[in-house]
């Protein structure tokens, strides 16, 4: 059946009358109102659609460009908008710092030349005024490492330098330890509460790395030292072996050292590779650099964490905590090389693999490790 123009008009009026408030009007009056309202309404709809689409495109573009920096780029953070774009949840950034990016690896640019020597009499008070941050007030940034690579030492330095306690991924197994309850107070509760200025972790799975979208500090120590130190710690603390027995196992290449501990060699490698490859924003700290220039390296870490640079607190932290006062020197009295030629080949291969990964990213390679643990 062919509809006439009049019938189509009547049908359109019937459909659109409720929308434009024409219900109950005569056909002539309704048609008159529709003719006045229809095209302005169409213009409003098109305008709203345009605004929505452009808003979505701007946000999508911002998200996609957030972490795409080229090697050698310098990002100067001088405004709240830049901070939001580059750092996400880092809301307490100190002003005026810059970072150089080599792929996903970040190098905070700091200047400590104007640091005046601290009056060390104020340091004890700075070791006592550390706070637990309010819930959800801190970015989720990891302090990642293989065991015995300076994590505990670095946490202590960072706490004094920033005035905030650090958390731990391993909080459920560590929260009853006396040193955690007394000194790492944000480490007694779930790290996802974001109450710690950074979060200790020895884990390295990709899904775990991806949790820390705001970044991570990766501590890397010479594996010849960290592995030997971890072997000593494991056997003395968990197996109650005497120091003499542990030294004998390493000196005679006992299978507990040469075979059963090989999984830890791989763990050292995978810890480094996973964080280097998968973390979106990574700062690498070499333990040897932290040991030789702790003020500079600690200042870089504080900057990376987005906390204000306080020269007095940083210097007090270094004065109050050194590796000689900590638990890192299990190997300091060893006068022999515990690694057989076969073990040297394994570790040297792992070191080379990590170096090649860093070089491909145009990043700073590992320090020279080949002469370590060779008796003089």
Question: What confidence score (pLDDT) does residue 62 get?
Answer: 32
- Tokens for 15, please give them: 């459909």
| Ramachandran assignment for 373, one of left (phi > 0), alpha (psi -120 to 50 degrees), beta (any other) | left
**Over pLDDT 90: what percentage of the chain?**
61
CA atoms within 13 A of residue 316's CA, in its CB half-sphere:
23
As a whole number, mean pLDDT of residues 67-73 equals: 37
**Alpha helix (H) ranges present in the chain?**
5-20, 27-64, 80-87, 123-126, 151-162, 171-174, 178-183, 206-211, 223-233, 243-251, 255-258, 262-278, 287-292, 294-304, 311-320, 341-360
72-76, 181-185, 197-201, 241-245 — which is least confidently predicted?
Answer: 72-76
307, 309, 315, 318 alpha-carbon torsion, rounded to 10°: 30
Question: What confidence score (pLDDT) does residue 12 get?
Answer: 52
35-49, 167-181, 232-246, 260-274 — which is least confidently predicted?
Answer: 35-49
**Per-residue pLDDT for 160 more than 70?**
yes
Within 8 A by CB and 6+ apart from 195, the residues are: 132, 133, 134, 135, 137, 138, 165, 167, 186, 189
Within 8 A by CB and 6+ apart from 33, the residues are: 20, 21, 22, 25
Beta-carbon count within 10 A of 261 CB: 20
Query: pTM of the prediction?
Result: 0.75
200 and 155 Cβ atoms separated by less than 8 Å: yes
7-16, 327-336, 338-347, 362-371 — which is least confidently predicted?
Answer: 7-16
CA nearest neighbour of 233 among 192, 202, 198: 202
Question: What confidence score (pLDDT) does residue 344 get?
Answer: 92
CA nearest neighbour of 140 among 63, 217, 223, 80: 217
Label residue 56 by pLDDT band (50, 70, 90). Answer: very low
As a whole number, mean pLDDT of residues 130-158 equals: 96
Question: What confidence score (pLDDT) does residue 172 get?
Answer: 96
As a whole number, mean pLDDT of residues 71-91 equals: 40
**Per-residue pLDDT for 66 more than 50?**
no
**Per-residue pLDDT for 27 more than 70?**
no
**Over pLDDT 70: what percentage of the chain?**
69
Question: What confidence score (pLDDT) does residue 368 get?
Answer: 87
Burial class (CB in 10 A: 0-12, 13-18, 19+), 175: middle
């Amino acid at each position: 059946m062919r509809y006439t123009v009049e019938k189509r008009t009547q049908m359109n009026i019937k459909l659109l009358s409720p929308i434009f408030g024409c219900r109950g009007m005569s056909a002539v009056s309704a048609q008159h109102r529709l003719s006045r309202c229809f095209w302005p309404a169409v213009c409003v709809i098109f305008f709203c659609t345009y605004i929505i689409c452009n808003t979505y495109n701007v946000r999508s573009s911002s998200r996609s460009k957030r972490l795409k920096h080229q090697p050698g780029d310098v990002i100067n953070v001088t405004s709240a908008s830049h901070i939001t774009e580059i750092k996400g949840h880092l809301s307490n950034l100190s002003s005026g710092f810059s970072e150089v990016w080599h792929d996903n690896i970040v190098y905070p640019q700091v200047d400590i030349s104007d640091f005046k020597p601290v009056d060390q009499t104020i340091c004890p008070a700075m070791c006592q005024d550390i706070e637990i941050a309010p819930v959800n007030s801190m970015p989720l940034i990891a302090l990642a490492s293989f065991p015995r690579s300076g994590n505990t030492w670095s946490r202590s330095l960072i706490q004094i330098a920033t005035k905030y306690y650090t958390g731990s991924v391993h909080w459920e197994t560590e929260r009853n330890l006396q040193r955690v309850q007394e000194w790492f107070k944000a480490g007694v509760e779930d790290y996802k509460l974001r109450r710690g200025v950074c979060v200790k972790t020895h884990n390295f799975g990709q899904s775990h790395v991806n949790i820390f979208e705001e970044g991570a500090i990766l501590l890397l120590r010479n594996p010849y030292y960290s592995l030997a130190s971890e072997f000593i710690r494991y056997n003395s603390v968990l197996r109650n072996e005497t120091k003499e027995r542990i030294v004998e196992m390493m000196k005679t290449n006992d299978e507990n050292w040469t075979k059963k501990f090989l999984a830890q060699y791989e763990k050292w490698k995978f810890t480094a590779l996973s964080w280097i490859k998968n973390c979106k924003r990574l700062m690498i700290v070499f333990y040897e650099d932290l040991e030789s220039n702790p003020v500079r390296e600690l200042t870089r870490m504080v900057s990376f964490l987005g906390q204000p640079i306080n020269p007095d607190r940083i210097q007090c932290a270094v004065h109050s905590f050194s590796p000689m006062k900590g638990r890192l020197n299990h190997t300091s009295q060893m006068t022999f090389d515990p690694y057989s030629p076969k073990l040297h080949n394994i570790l040297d291969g792992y070191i080379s693999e990590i170096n090649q990964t860093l070089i491909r990213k145009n990043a700073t390679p590992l320090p020279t490790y080949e002469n370590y643990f060779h008796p003089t």
